[in-house]
């Protein structure tokens, strides 16, 4: 027994509509995301065209105030960071202490 297209569609019309709506939603989300990516790329291009590269050993100049600048150089720390509780002293920019505590209850029978 052959089943016609209209009879088959009557059985699955809800899933067909849901599939079509998901397809439209996917296209809309993809278009929105691509628009965001293009906007982000234009922002990065604008920043790249307006950036001023500075030497880290040059003096600061007032004409750079409020401008986008790029500076690269060695990072020097005057004095070491210390952790007195553990007796640690390290020549670093940042010292982070993460404390974890475990507790359990012991029952004696």
Mean pLDDT of 25-45: 98
Query: Is residue 99 helix, strand or coil?
Result: coil
Mean pLDDT of 39-68: 92
- Which is it for the CA torsion 20, 23, 25, 28, positive or negative? negative
**Domain segments of the chain: what residues?**
5-90
Two structure tokens written together for 70 = 């790029």
Confidence of residue 1 (pLDDT cuts 50, 70, 90): low
- pTM attached to this predicted model: 0.53
């Amino acid at each position: 027994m052959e089943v016609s297209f209209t009879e088959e569609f009557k059985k699955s019309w809800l899933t067909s509509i849901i599939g079509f709506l998901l397809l439209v939603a996917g296209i809309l989300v993809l278009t929105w995301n691509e628009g965001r990516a293009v906007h982000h790329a234009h922002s990065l291009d604008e920043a790249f065209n307006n950036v001023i590269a500075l030497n880290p050993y040059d003096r600061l100049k007032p004409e750079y105030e409020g401008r986008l600048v790029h500076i690269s150089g060695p990072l020097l720390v005057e004095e070491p960071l210390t952790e007195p509780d553990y007796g640690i002293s390290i020549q670093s920019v940042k010292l982070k202490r993460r404390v974890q505590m475990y507790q359990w209850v012991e029952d004696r029978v």
